[in-house]
Structure 1
Amino acid sequence: MNVVTNRASDSPTDNARHLMFDDLEKLGRILVETGDLAHGFVQGADDMDVTCRDFSAFDPSRPLSGQGSGTLDALRAAKEEILPLLAASIGPRYLGFVTGGTTPAALAGDWLASAIDQNATGPEGSVNAAVEEQVINWLCDLGGLPSDRFDGVLTTGATVSNLLGLVAGRQWCGERVGVNVDADGAGVLPDLEVFAATPHASMVKDLSITGIGRNSFTKVATLPGSEETDLDDLRAKLKASDARGKIVIASAGTVNATDFDDLTAIADLCAAYGAWLHVDAAFGLFVALDDRRAHFLAGIDRADSITSDGHKWLNVPYDCGIFLTRHISVLETCCRAFAPYLATKAEGNSYINRGVENSRRFRALPLWMAMKAYGRDGFAAIIRANCDQAADLGAWVRTHEKLELLSEPKLNVTMFTSLGDDDQNRALLEKINATGKLFMTPTIYNGRFGFRAAFSSWRTQDHDLVIIKQAIDSVL
Structure 2
Amino acid sequence: MNHVSNRSSNSPNVDERHLMFDDLEKLGRILVETGDIAHSFVQGVDDMDVTCRDFSAFDPSRPLQGQGRGTLDALRAAKEEILPLLAASIGPRYLGFVTGGTTPAALAGDWLASAIDQNATGPEGSVNAAVEEQVINWLCDLGGVPSDRYDGVLTTGATVSNLLGLVAARQWCGEQVGVNVDADGSGVLPDLEVFAASPHASMIKDLSITGIGRNNFTKVATKPGSEETDIADLKAKISASDARAKIVIASAGTVNATDFDDLEAIADLCAAYGAWLHVDAAFGFFAALDDRRADFTKGIARADSITSDGHKWLNVPYDCGIFLTRHIAVLETCCRAFAPYLDTKADGNSYINRGVENSRRFRALPLWMTMVAYGRDGVASVIRANCDQAADLAAWVRTHERLELFSEPKLNVTMFAARGSDEDNRALLARINATGKVFMTPTVYGGRFGFRAAFSNWRTCDDDLVIIKQAIETAL
Report if TM-score (shorter chain) is over 0.5: yes
C-alpha deviation, 1:190, in angstroms: 3.9
Match of 1:303 in 2: 303
Match of 1:123 in 2: 123
AA aligned to 2:266 is: I
- 1:114, 1:190 → 2: CA distance? 45
Match of 1:321 in 2: 321
Aligned partner of residue 368 in structure 1, secondary structure: helix
**Contact 2:8–2:22 (CA<8 Å) still a contact in 1?**
no
Match of 2:244 in 1: 244
- 2:332, 2:6 → 1: CA distance? 50
Match of 2:466 in 1: 466
Match of 1:36 in 2: 36
**Contact 1:3–1:21 (CA<8 Å) still a contact in 2?**
no
C-alpha deviation, 1:15, in angstroms: 2.3
Match of 1:143 in 2: 143
C-alpha deviation, 1:475, in angstroms: 1.2
Aligned partner of residue 414 in structure 1, secondary structure: strand
- 1:238, 1:2 → 2: CA distance? 70
Gaps of 5+ in 2: none
Q: What RMSD over aligned residues (CA atoms) do the two structures have, in Å?
A: 1.1
Match of 1:64 in 2: 64
Aligned partner of residue 286 in structure 1, secondary structure: helix
C-alpha deviation, 1:7, in angstroms: 5.3
AA aligned to 2:114 is: S
| Matches for 1:212-231 after TM superposition, within 5 Å | 212-231=212-231
Match of 1:21 in 2: 21
- 2:190, 2:442 → 1: CA distance? 38
AA aligned to 1:4 is: N
| Matches for 1:271-310 after TM superposition, within 5 Å | 271-310=271-310
- 2:283, 2:377 → 1: CA distance? 17
Answer yes or no: is 1:258 the counterpart of 2:277.
Answer: no
| Matches for 1:21-420 after TM superposition, within 5 Å | 21-420=21-420
* Cα distance per residue 1:339-397 (max 9 Å; x no partner): 00000000000000000000000000000000000000000000000000000000000
- 1:90, 1:71 → 2: CA distance? 25
**Contact 1:152–1:328 (CA<8 Å) still a contact in 2?**
yes
What count of residue pairs does the alignment treat as equivalent? 474
Gaps of 5+ in 1: none
**Contact 1:288–1:297 (CA<8 Å) still a contact in 2?**
yes
Aligned partner of residue 405 in structure 1, secondary structure: strand
- 2:215, 2:147 → 1: CA distance? 35
Find runs of 4+ consecutive structure 1 residues off by over 3 angstroms. 5-8
Aligned partner of residue 247 in structure 1, secondary structure: strand
- 2:17, 2:209 → 1: CA distance? 40
CA distance 1:474–1:3, shift in 2 (3 Å): farther
Answer yes or no: is 1:4 the counterpart of 2:14.
Answer: no
Aligned partner of residue 132 in structure 1, secondary structure: helix
- 1:474, 1:333 → 2: CA distance? 57
- 1:400, 1:334 → 2: CA distance? 53
- 1:357, 1:16 → 2: CA distance? 29
* Cα distance per residue 1:163-186 (max 9 Å; x no partner): 000000000000000000000000
- 1:5, 1:365 → 2: CA distance? 34
C-alpha deviation, 1:74, in angstroms: 0.1
Aligned partner of residue 453 in structure 1, secondary structure: strand
- 1:164, 1:16 → 2: CA distance? 40
- 2:227, 2:421 → 1: CA distance? 23
- 1:121, 1:475 → 2: CA distance? 50
C-alpha deviation, 1:2, in angstroms: 5.9
Task: State, as a whole percentage, how many aligned pairs show the same letter.
Answer: 85
- 1:405, 1:190 → 2: CA distance? 46
AA aligned to 2:156 is: T
- 2:275, 2:305 → 1: CA distance? 12
C-alpha deviation, 1:209, in angstroms: 0.1
AA aligned to 2:276 is: W
**Contact 1:257–1:407 (CA<8 Å) still a contact in 2?**
yes
- 1:7, 1:371 → 2: CA distance? 46
C-alpha deviation, 1:244, in angstroms: 1.4
- 1:118, 1:87 → 2: CA distance? 29
C-alpha deviation, 1:6, in angstroms: 6.8
- 1:308, 1:55 → 2: CA distance? 33
Aligned partner of residue 6 in structure 2, secondary structure: coil
**Contact 1:207–1:213 (CA<8 Å) still a contact in 2?**
yes
C-alpha deviation, 1:420, in angstroms: 1.0
Answer yes or no: is 1:442 the counterpart of 2:442.
Answer: yes
Aligned partner of residue 32 in structure 1, secondary structure: helix
- 2:301, 2:271 → 1: CA distance? 13
* Cα distance per residue 1:53-111 (max 9 Å; x no partner): 00000000000000001000000000000000000000000000000010000000000
Aligned partner of residue 55 in structure 2, secondary structure: coil
C-alpha deviation, 1:3, in angstroms: 5.1
Aligned partner of residue 355 in structure 2, secondary structure: coil
**Contact 2:7–2:21 (CA<8 Å) still a contact in 1?**
no
- 2:435, 2:9 → 1: CA distance? 54
